[in-house]
Chains A and B, each alone.
Chain A
Amino acid sequence: DTGVSQNPRHKITKRGQNVTFRCDPISEHNRLYWYRQTLGQGPEFLTYFQNEAQLEKSRLLSDRFSAERPKGSFSTLEIQRTEQGDSAMYLCASSFLAGVPYEQYFGPGTRLTVT
C-alpha cells in the first residue's frame, strides 16, 4: 500500500507527558500537512511543509507543539506537556504540487486521548 501512513493509530497518555506522532507521506509528494480534528468538526490546519521547509503554522499551534520533516520525507509532530484539551484525532495529509492543485491524500490519523 502506497498511501499515507501514520503511527501510532492510538495513543493514551497522562496529562503532562510528551507524545510524538509519525507520518509517512506518499513517496513522491512534496507537501505534507498536519491537521487536528475533534468530534463533529472539520479538520483544523496546524502546519505544513514543502519538502523539508515548514512554511506555515496555525495560531492553534502553541509553543508546546513542534513538527519536523527532516530530509523532506517522513514528518513527526510532538506535543509537550499534554493537556486534556489536546485530545483529538491528528491527521496527516500529503499532496503533490504539480498534480491536481493541493489535492490532499489523508492518512488514517492518530487518535490521542489525554487522561
Chain B
Amino acid sequence: GQQVMQIPQYQHVQEGEDFTTYCNSSTTLSNIQWYKQRPGGHPVFLIQLVKSGEVKKQKRLTFQFGEAKKNSSLHITATQTTDVGTYFCAGPNNYGQNFVFGPGTRLSVLP
C-alpha cells in the first residue's frame, strides 16, 4: 500500500537555528498537505502544494513540492519557541478520497 515517510523523526535545535523536515511518498502524489500539531493539541492545516516544483512561503516557513511529485520539504528559518510541535505531511491515497499521513517530525526549540 501507499506509504508516506518523514525524516528526521526528531529534531532539537537552538532558537534561531534553521530546521528542515523531508517527506517522501512511495507513489506520485496529486498534491500534498502539511499540518502542525502542538503538544497536546490537534493537527492544524498549514498549506497545500499541487504543482510539480512548487514553492510556497509563509513568513519564515518555506514549503517545496518535488519535481517528480513524490517528495516535499518544509524549511523553517530562524526557529522560535512558538515553532515547537510535530509537523506532518499528508498525501491523498490511491483513490484520492482521503489522506495518508506521515509519522511526523517532532521539533524541539531550545531557548
Using known A-B contacts A101-B31, A102-B92, determine if residue A45 contacts B43 with beta carbons closer than 8 Å. no
Bitwise interface map of A from 81 to 115 toward B, beta carbon under 8 Å scored 1, else 0: 00000000001010000001111111111000000
Contact A104–B42 (Cβ < 8 Å): no
Q: Which of B70-111 contact A (CB under 8 A)?
A: 88, 90, 92-93, 95, 97-104, 106
List chain A residues, Cβ under 8 A from B97. 48, 55-56
Interface residue tally for chain B (C-beta within 8 Å) = 23
How far apart are the CA atoms of A100 and B99 in the complex, in Å?
Answer: 14
Q: Which of A32-77 contact B (CB under 8 A)?
A: 33, 35, 40-45, 48, 55-56
- Find A103's partner among B33, B42, B100, B106 (CB 8 Å cutoff): B33
For residue B39, give the distance in angstroms from its CB to the closest CB of chain A: 12
Interface residue tally for chain A (C-beta within 8 Å) = 23
| Residue B44 interfacial (CB < 8 Å) | yes
How far apart are the CA atoms of A33 and B33 in the complex, in Å?
Answer: 16
List chain A residues, Cβ under 8 A from B33. 102-104
Residues in B lying within 8 Å of A, measured CB to CB: 4, 31, 33, 41-45, 48, 88, 90, 92-93, 95, 97-104, 106
- List 13 other contacts, CB 8 Å, given A55-B97, A106-B44: A40-B104, A41-B103, A41-B104, A42-B88, A42-B103, A43-B101, A45-B98, A45-B99, A45-B100, A56-B95, A102-B99, A107-B42, A109-B42
